[in-house]
Structure 1
Amino acid sequence: MSKRVALKRGSNGPPADRYFDTIVYLIAAVIMILVLYPLLFVVSASFSDPAKVLGGEVWLLPKGFTVEAYANILHNDKIWTGFANSIVYTTVGTIINIAMTLLAAYPLSRPDLPLRKGLMLIVTLTMFFSGGLIPTYLLVKDLGMVDTMWALIIPGAISTYNLIVMRTYFQSSIPWELQEAAHVDGCSNWRLLFSIVLPLSKPILAVMVLFYAAGHWNLFFNALIYIRSEELYPLQLVLREILLISQSDAVDSGVGLEDKILLAESVKYAVIIISSLPVLIMYPFVQRHFVKGVMIGSIKG
């Protein structure tokens, strides 16, 4: 009885717990500031007078508000072509990624699959060993995919890490007894997958969509290697080209050198915002499934 009274009087818990919570909140606040400040600075710098940015006057809020950098970027037709290409690559690539990962992860999660452990060992080995850049390029070239959108999609159709996370989710979150009962009732494997497994897998599917879509949207290195035609450039490659041209003009031109340097500085921050905005917009729509899917898929199993 006395313990219950003490708990009622001290509803916040003993002092040690309150000190611990305070320290946790302080650490979380510091981490939040460290994560958010660079983003806020980039946004402010993209709307600020580049002279003030170079002079170190911009800390948090924009100074000398201007949209000249965005105007210079958005009036470039290549930007819109890159946007359209990146949307196509991201949409088609993510659909293929989800389909391939799902069709591989679900069978590997079933205990009645023959040689399941051996197959998982082979899959896991690919996380540590790969053919390397040159053999991969030669393979893509021999398949006739160089300078096509498929060179950016097919070689990375399945991520081994995502496959393992999804397989672990199926094992830990969808009872095998439920699947056996469905089979007893005459449910085929395909109907079991689409009618039972998929409706119960919304959290992990949301996580996979975010991971794969962000990867395709930020695709840069593979495009730099495999894509030759400018009309096929994804947004990241177009923005890189604009940034390099701005910087080279600033160095090579003797007329208005200072103005070109300032413009190149402001373009740099505007480029970061334009390339990051779609992913930042997409994340809140899958955030409620994100933590649950990652934790269950990564920790259990």
Structure 2
Amino acid sequence: MDVDPIPTDDAADFPFYTQVHSLYVPFYPCGFDKPLTNIAAQHLEPLLNHYSPVLRGVLLSYTNLNLSERPVQASAINPPTDETPALLRSVDEYAVGFAYLTFDAHMFKPARGKWMEGVVQLQSEGHIGVQCWGRFNASIEAKRLPKGWKWVDLKGDNHKSYNQQAEEEEEEEEEEEEDDQLDGEELQVVEQVHTTGYWVDASGKKVSGKVRFRIKNFDVGLAGDYGYLSLEGTFLNDDEEHALQKEERELERKRRSRQNPGGLLRPMSRRVPEFSMTKFGKEDEEEDAGQRTVFAKVTGKEGDVTPDD
């Protein structure tokens, strides 16, 4: 079982995009003194570091704002400022005006097969937890880890003396200090305070530091008052992943058939791993709860997210 070669930074297809978006939005008179600053505060600031159904991704930052009666990109030569006149549309003489807010959106848009990079934060016999770019949590099942990785149960090491364990831990720390560097930046190494064991790679080295993997599945939805993004990863290549998914579907079909012989099968439910979830904060901060965007659960599919033109 071979995994696809890990790409270099230039070749890795990470799910980051810069896209031009135009939103037709209302603008209240209280912000007319600084149009660009205030309309961004009204409509874009609340979206930062949240999943937006409209933008189909997590808005990381925005640049090149323009406010106009038609969708027009900001001029690179003479970019608009708060002093630039902006023409708004009045509807039925309401005080609020309408205009197009055009901007460059710097987005994180997950999709199956996209590469992710992060630091291993949690290890258990069933999965590893990775925090990607200090922002997004992801979980990788044990059966989707690279070939040769093995789980070391600490209960099995009880025959070792305390000094032997201390010497091995000291050697591992020295190796990590030497190896945990990438592009001149020292990587964060997380030590779990309480654990039943840890993973080692094919060479027997304890798994830690940065890893790269691809997105197997992602979910977006609501959990109580919080919006969330769940990311599940895989180290397997496409053929191995498809074969494993086929095997999982067959096992699930047999399990459900035994539970409901001759009856109707309930829709298959899937438990989202806790560490795979990134919570975005309470979604009830908008003034009008009736107009709050409650986005339905979205499950990633092959080719379901593509960069806008």
TM-score normalised by structure 1 residue count = 0.24
More strand by share: 2
TM-score normalised by structure 2 residue count = 0.23
Structure with bigger gyration radius? 1
Larger relative contact order (CA 8 Å, sep ≥ 6): 1
